[in-house]
Every structure is written in structure tokens, then in C-alpha cells.
Amino acid sequence: MIYNKILLVEPQCAGFEHAPFNAAILQSVMLAFPSVEILFLAEGEHIVCVRKYLQERSILCDQIQWNKITIPKGSLTNWFRLPGDYKCCKTVFKIARENGVDSILFLSITNTGLLALKTEMKEQKLPFNVFVVFHAVLNSIEKTHKLELWNRMLGLKSVLKLSHPAKLRYIVHGTPIYKQLMVNNAILKDQFETIDIPTFWFNKGDSNLSDKKNEKIRFGFLGSDMIGFERFETLANEFIVSKKVNNAEFQFVGHLYPVRHKIIRRIFPSKNSVRYFQHFKKGSSDVVLGLSYKPLTSEEYCSRVNNVTYVIWAGDPERCKLAGTGTFIDTLSFVKPGIFLRNKYIEYYFSKMGDIGYLCDSVEEIKKVVQEILAEFPSERYHKKCENIISKRNIFEPENVASQIRDIFDGGLLQ
């Protein structure tokens, strides 16, 4: 199929959020369609962040036209943003028509955003295909809302069941997510495609290894405190307070979720206190370093991750079955071996990449791995893990993801 113009739109993320991914998928599209004009629509600060990532990597953007749009304000349950989602969809389709676009790629979506999108596509006769990338919102397909009728009506599972426009197709991040989605949703199999998460590497190949025998081993938790942080903090408390080890640090690299931030500040005024009601214990305020109640800048985030020796991810696998794990991608990006609670997504890429960290079947096993590392740092194995990360992570690079995107677009429903 011959393409003249392709439109990419970020309908919900502002500023730094998702900017690394959007920059990488933008380059993937540029590589897939090198002679095609690309329109990129997003919130103003987000455009600045995406352009910065591309410029830092000396990627030419001559084929990109940047357009600032207004995106809906987020809300806890999303349904307050529904009017804004309708307005956003109308704006995107209007710009696409005016510019003679061949295909549209939504770089993320919410449940209400998808409802607005499907409704608008049914009402308008569109001359182009529409592709939608799902992120963590896909996990909500398995949630049940027993009391809130409006949440059941607007939940992602309900929205996906609505009549499906002929020119709409969905994209998920990786084969394991697609397979897991099909376990209970086989009826949707023809609506979904899969790509590996396109990624730029913050560490381009220098493992920054040194002799750790006389250094503290730093275990990092990356992201927000929404998934798995209580387990990380409990682990830190055991080693720092109970076992009184002196060669370890447990570092938080990210920010506390705003709702929890208000609770924590009200109940525990100390900025270092991270225990929630039932978990709070005397002495816990000093076990996790680097707490931040504001999102870190890109520079600060990179600096903190670079200071970590290992990354620990202890999120509940049941809560993360249908979304890629950003922490896992960051361990590859910064060349940091991870200690992971096993889930099918991470297990799949371990099988493709080899020894790049530790896969644990329980929190107790994570604890055992940490204890063994602190007893005697496995220098040779650590070096090997880093080397494997550097040599095998190319499957996520835009150059390789570009062919996946081209195949999806060429198999579009208009043909």
C-alpha cells in the first residue's frame, strides 16, 4: 500500500509521561515509512519532550509536522473526562481529513477515550484506518465493578464489546500479552496485533562495571508506588532494620502517587516515612532512600537509576498480566540486572535473551537472592548479565520494531 501522510496522536499523556516510548515509536514509524509525511499531535509540553529525545539522538525530524492539541484532563475513574475525549476525537479526525491522512495511530487510550473513538468512527465515514496502542489500561479488562453501574458501563471490557468499526485495529506490547488476552477474550483475536515495545537506550552499551566488593550494593525500585512498593519496602525493612546489614541501600526512583501522597503527609508528616497504616513500623522511615512526592525530571531519573546496582520488581503478576512492565524495559535501557517476581511477560523475554537477571517464584525467593548477593557479590555473573542485556536487547530497537509496524499497517482493513 502507498502512503502519503500518517498521523500519530497522544490523547492523554502530558509533559514527560510516555515521552520516551512515543519518541521511540515515532522513530519506528519514520523508519517504516521513510518517505511519508508524519503529523504528530500532542499536548505542548509533551511535544517538547518527544522532540528533545529525538534531537539528543541526532534523529532528523524533517518529515514530521508538529501540532499542539488540547487533551482531556484525567480523573480517578476517567468517566469525568468523557466529554473531553469526544472533543479530542473530533479534533483529530478533523485535522486528519484536512490533511489527507492515510492512517491514524493513537499512541495510548483510556476506556472513555476508546468509547468516544468507536462512537465517532461509527458516526463518520472515515477514509483511513485507525490503530490504537494499549498500555496499562488493558489490565482493567479483567476488573469487576460490583456496585458502580457507571463504571461497569464505561469499563474497558464493556467498551470492547460494543460494535467494532471495520477500520479499527488494536496493538498490544508483545506476544505474551496477546496470548494472555486471548485466554478469556478469544472473540477479539482479529482485532488485535502485537509489537515489541520500541525503546531508546539511555545507556548505549557501557555497563559501568567496577569492583563492588568494597561498595554498597544498591537495590532500586523504579516508577510509582502503585504496584509492588509495599513488598519492596518490607524487604528493605527486614535487611536494614532486622538484619542490620551495612553493605546495602534500598532506593526509590520515581514518585509517590498523588492520592497516597496526601494520605501519607496527613498521617505521617515525615517525608521519609513510607509505611501505610497496617504496614507502619518504628524505624521504617530510614529504610528506603530517595522518596519524591513530585515526578522526577528526566535528568534526575536517569541519574538515580544509574546509581543503582540491581532493580527489584515485586508487583503482583495477576495485576500485570495484560501490560508490559516499564521497570523491565528500564533495566534493559540502563543495563541493570533485575530481580523479578515471575510473570509471563518478563519470563517470555528471559527465554529470548538469556541470563539478564533473576526470575523468582515468590517474595521469599527474592529475599534469598538479595541475601546471597549481599553475602558475596557475584562479580563474574553480574558482568555476564550486563553483557547479555547489551547484546540481546536489540529486539526492542526502533529499527526492528519498524518492520512490525509496517506489516500491521500493510495488513490494514481498507485493503
Mean pLDDT of 5-32: 95
Least confident of 238-247, 352-361, 387-396: 238-247
How many residues belong to the chain?
Answer: 415
Q: What is the CA radius of gyration of the chain?
A: 22
Query: What domains, with CATH codes, occur in the chain?
Result: 5-201+397-410 (3.40.50.2000), 217-395 (3.40.50.2000)
Residues forming a β-bridge with 68: 42
Residue 15: φ, ψ to 5°: 60, -135
Crossing angle of the two packed helices 363-375 and 229-237, in degrees rounded to 10: 40
Q: Which of 51-55, 202-206, 284-288 has the lowest mean pLDDT?
A: 284-288
Average pLDDT, the chain: 86
| pLDDT at residue 269 in the model | 46
Q: Tell me: the pLDDT tens digits for 256-270? A: 765 544 444 444 444
Express each pLDDT in 399-409 by its tens digit: 999 999 999 99
Q: Rounded mean pLDDT of 292-309? A: 87
Q: How many CB atoms lie under 10 A from the CB of residue 279?
A: 12
**CA gap 7, 23 in Å, rounded:** 14
Task: Cell 518478563: give the residue.
Answer: 346
Q: Averaged over 317-335, what is the pLDDT?
A: 85
Per-residue pLDDT at 266: 46
Distance between CA 93 and CA 409 in Å, rounded?
18
Is the pLDDT at 81 greater than 80? The verdict is yes
Residue 217 is placed in which grid cell? Answer: 550494593
Q: Which amino acid is at 284?
A: S
Buried b (16+ CB within 10 A) or exposed e, 139-170: bbbbeebeeeeebeebbbbebbeeebbebbbb
Structure-block grid coordinates of residue 309: 546496582
Residue 76 pLDDT greater than 60, yes or no: no
Amino acid at 120: E
User: What does the pLDDT read at residue 209?
Assistant: 56
Three-class secondary structure of residue 11 per DSSP: coil
pLDDT digits (tens, 9 = 90+) for 155-200: 888 899 999 999 999 999 999 999 999 998 899 999 999 999 999 9
